[in-house]
């Protein structure tokens, strides 16, 4: 019975061991719910669970138990795993679109919560949360342990009351010049009236102009919202109150944006809409785009402005059915010819931790990622910590990488032709989707005219719009199926995949052709029913294509012909 505990809950386990037969006499009619009892005998269970096949499926389980003894269906319901709820698509995720203000409210709620627990100013709570990358649980745990240590590590004064001295322009340690009404700022080297001096609780005093220049340079030039004292090696944080006081409106707005961006960057469940000048964000409360989640799902979302993008990789389109990691490989491959791609390829690498693209524009090989602060080696991309004793691995890596690079090159030449086959089809659907849209723009005009001329209502002439929308959606799917096919290992699954692809493609082309047929008042009703039917059919084919691929991701049935890096 050793394996049983893997699938049975402890309570049912005990229950059955102690009263194996007691309840088996109950008639099912008396049972409150089918799943509330278990009546399988020990024998039946040991037979069943001694089966080597632990990953049984529903029907197997049915079969086994029925064979062993003729219990009522309800009796073994407890032992069979619940069927996964039938979702529209296996990769649909729940999400909300939020405005920047709503996002700020969410931040404020987090901040107030922590401020309430610790009994500190919201400002302090915010700084602490930022320092802990908004990991509330870890912060609370460590703060309860030792508030002093946590505050110091976050660059906050241990005596919290001093963070907001009513006279923040405290002349604490200003060097008194002969007439102590003035002081000399060590940064700009000018002598100024003493009330221009400002210091954080650490006591490092500089003039307000220098503080201002420093803040502006950090915020505007470096895009850093986490600003520390100007003194070398001093970690004291500059409070928002200073930022508010010292900065002009545009810099302050930038600061606010950076704060929000930092919050979003630290939160796996929030992503800004990647469309230019769209300031909405999308929150997925129950979905984290982890590498393993993204290896089986494509979390396509729409922001409140109806921009479609992928929550996993930020790609500005619905790239189902292909997963992010492969999409990235494909797009990079496609863009290889362009100058930009060449430049990015030769001048940048990605942070091995957060995959931000990084250009090294000087300095040594010891890199610190601006976004996630991961320290790594530019040469071997390994973590820097390993270089303390074994940094010369980099040299060895160079030799190997040289060989690999040459190998990769010859392989890519050989596969170029195969690649072009898929690429041409990929590009063709992209192009066709654009043409379909253009064609519709022309058709629309005609439809409007017809609406005036004939007796059709506005609703009735919408069929072409629906057709085009569906067509574009399906072409997007088709496009990515070609990219996917390029990376799939040939087997039975891919044969089915290509069948689905062919069926969808055939239907799509038929609909596309229909869209080009002339619209005449005499034939419009026939055209309408034809197009409507075909639209529904195409939609169905698209669903089948997507559902089938989604299911096979869940079942790990897809085998790639290249090694797919973790996203």
Catalytic residue numbers read: 364
**Least Å from the CB of residue 415 to other proteins:** 34
| Least spacing, CB of residue 189 vs other proteins, in Å | 4
Cβ distance to other proteins smaller for residue 221 or 417: 221
Angle at 40 between CA 35 and CA 45, to 5 degrees: 115
**CA–CA separation, 154 and 34 (whole Å):** 55
Phi, psi angle pair for 184, to nearest 5°: -110, 120
Stretch that binds other proteins, among 72-80, 122-130, 364-372, 464-472 (CB under 8 A): 364-372
CB-nearer residue toward other proteins: 220 or 466: 220
The residue count for binding other proteins (CB under 8 A) is: 31
In this complex, which beta carbon is closest to other proteins, that of residue 160 or of residue 187? 187
Determine if 365 is a binding residue for other proteins (CB under 8 A): yes
The DSSP result for 515-552, as a single string, is HHS---TTTHHHHHHHHHHHHHHHHHHHHHHHHHHHHH
Distance between CA 493 and CA 555 in Å, rounded? 12
| Residue 540 interacts with other proteins (CB under 8 A): yes or no | no
Contact assessment for residue 544 and residue 87, using Cβ atoms and an 8 Å cutoff? no
Taking the complex as a whole, how short is the minimal distance between the CB of residue 396 and other proteins, in angstroms?
Answer: 11
Site string for other proteins, 175-214 (x = CB under 8 A): -----------xxxxx-------------x-x---x--xx
Q: Does 397 bind other proteins (CB under 8 A)?
A: no
Only segment of 119-127, 194-202, 230-238, 447-455 that touches other proteins (CB under 8 A): 230-238
Using the contact rule CB under 8 A, the part of the chain among 48-56, 235-243, 266-274, 387-395 near other proteins is 387-395
Question: Counting contacts by CB under 8 A, is residue 359 touching other proteins?
Answer: no
**Which of 231, 225, 161, 224 has the alpha carbon at shortest distance from 203?**
231
Q: How far apart are CA 391 and CA 376, in angstroms?
A: 11
| Tokens 């430049």 sit on residue | 343
Two tokens at 68? 């062993």
161 binds other proteins (CB under 8 A): no
Per DSSP, the residues of 389-406 read HHTTHHHHHHHHHHHHHH
In which element (H, E) is residue 294 found?
Answer: helix 291-294
Bridge partners (DSSP) listed for residue 237: 228
Exactly one of 115, 230, 358, 508 binds other proteins (CB under 8 A); which one?
Answer: 230
Binding flag, residue 387, other proteins (CB under 8 A): yes
Count the Cβ atoms, other than its own, within 10 Å of residue 475: 26
Comparison of 138 and 366: residue with beta carbon closer to other proteins:
366
**Among 140, 278, 335, 394, which residue sits at the site for other proteins (rule: CB under 8 A)?**
394
Q: Is 233 in the site for other proteins (CB under 8 A)?
A: yes
Cβ-proximal residues to 150 (8 Å cutoff; 6+ apart), any chain = 128, 139, 142, 143
How far lies 353's CA from each of 375, 383, 567, in Å? 9, 9, 10
Point out which residues pair with 206 in neighbouring strands.
198
Shortest Å distance, C-beta 157 to other proteins? 19
Taking the C-alpha atoms of residue 218 and residue 213, their distance in angstroms, rounded to an integer, is 9
> What do you get for the CA distance between the two ends of the chain, in Å?
40
Stretch that binds other proteins, among 122-130, 289-297, 356-364, 490-498 (CB under 8 A): 356-364
Place of tokens 């049912």: 12
Question: Is 372 among the residues that bind other proteins (CB under 8 A)?
Answer: no
**Of the residues 54, 85, 364, 414, which one makes contact with other proteins according to CB under 8 A:** 364
368 binds other proteins (CB under 8 A): yes
Return the residue of 101, 137, 145, 232 that touches other proteins, per CB under 8 A: 232
Tokens of 450: 């017809």
- Which residues between 133 and 152 bind other proteins (CB under 8 A)? none
Whole-number minimum distance, CB 342 to other proteins, in Å?
Answer: 24
Q: 308-310 and 205-207 as β-strands: parallel, antiparallel, unpaired?
A: unpaired
Among 231, 460, 493, 543, binds other proteins (CB under 8 A): 231
Q: Tell whether residue 452 is a contact of other proteins (CB under 8 A).
A: no
What is the binding site for other proteins (CB under 8 A)? Answer: 186-190, 204, 206, 210, 213-214, 217, 221, 230-234, 362-366, 368, 379, 387-389, 391-392, 394-395
């Amino acid at each position: 019975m050793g394996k049983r505990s893997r699938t049975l809950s402890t309570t049912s386990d005990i229950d059955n061991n102690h009263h194996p037969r007691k309840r088996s006499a109950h008639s099912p009619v008396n049972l409150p719910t089918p799943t509330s009892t278990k009546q399988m005998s020990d024998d039946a269970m040991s037979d069943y669970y001694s089966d080597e096949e632990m990953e049984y499926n529903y029907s197997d389980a049915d079969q086994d138990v029925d064979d062993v003894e003729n219990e009522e269906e309800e009796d073994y319901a407890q032992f069979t795993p619940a069927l996964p709820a039938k979702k529209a698509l296996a990769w649909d995720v729940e999400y909300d679109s939020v405005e920047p203000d709503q996002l700020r409210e969410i931040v404020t709620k987090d901040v107030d919560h922590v401020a309430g627990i610790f009994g500190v100013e919201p400002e302090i709570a915010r700084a602490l949360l930022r320092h802990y990358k908004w990991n509330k649980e870890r912060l609370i745990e460590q703060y309860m342990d030792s508030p002093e240590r946590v505050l110091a590590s976050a660059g906050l004064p241990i005596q919290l009351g001093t963070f907001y001295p009513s006279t923040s322009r405290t002349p604490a340690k200003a060097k008194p010049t002969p007439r102590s009404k003035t002081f000399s700022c060590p940064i700009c080297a000018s002598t100024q009236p003493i009330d221009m001096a400002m210091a954080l609780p650490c006591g490092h005093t500089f003039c307000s102009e220098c503080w201002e220049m420093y803040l502006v340079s950090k915020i505007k030039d470096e895009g850093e919202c986490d600003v520390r004292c100007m003194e070398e090696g001093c970690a004291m944080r500059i409070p928002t109150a200073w930022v508010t006081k010292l900065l002009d409106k545009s810099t302050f707005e930038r600061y606010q944006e950076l704060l929000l961006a930092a919050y979003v960057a630290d939160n796996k469940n929030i992503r800004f809409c990647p469309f230019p000048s769209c300031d909405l964000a999308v929150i997925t409360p129950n979905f984290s785009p982890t590498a393993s989640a993204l290896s089986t799902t494509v979390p396509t979302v729409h922001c409140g402005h109806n921009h479609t993008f992928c929550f996993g990789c930020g790609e500005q389109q619905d790239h189902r059915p292909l997963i992010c990691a492969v999409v990235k490989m494909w797009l990079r491959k496609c863009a290889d010819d362009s100058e930009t791609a060449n430049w990015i390829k030769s001048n940048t690498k990605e942070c091995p931790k957060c995959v931000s693209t990084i250009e090294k524009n000087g300095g040594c090989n010891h890199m610190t990622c601006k976004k996630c602060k991961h320290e790594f080696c530019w040469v071997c991309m390994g973590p820097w910590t390993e270089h303390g004793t074994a940094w010369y691995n980099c040299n060895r890596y160079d030799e190997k990488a040289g060989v690999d690079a040459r190998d990769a090159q010859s392989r890519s030449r050989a596969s170029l032709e195969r690649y072009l086959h898929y690429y041409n089809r990929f590009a063709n659907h992209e192009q066709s989707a654009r043409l379909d849209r253009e064609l519709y723009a022309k058709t629309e005009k005609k439809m409007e005219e017809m609406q005036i001329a004939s007796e059709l209502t506005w609703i009735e002439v919408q069929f072409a719009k629906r057709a085009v929308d569906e067509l574009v959606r399906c072409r997007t799917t088709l496009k990515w199926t070609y990219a996917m096919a390029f990376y799939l290992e040939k087997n039975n699954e891919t044969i089915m995949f290509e069948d689905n692809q062919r069926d969808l493609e055939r239907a799509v082309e038929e609909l596309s052709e229909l869209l080009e047929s002339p619209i005449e008042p005499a034939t419009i009703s026939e055209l309408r029913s034809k197009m409507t039917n075909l639209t529904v059919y195409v939609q169905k084919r698209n669903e089948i294509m997507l559902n089938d691929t989604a299911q096979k991701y869940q079942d790990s049935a897809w085998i790639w012909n290249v090694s797919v890096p973790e996203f």
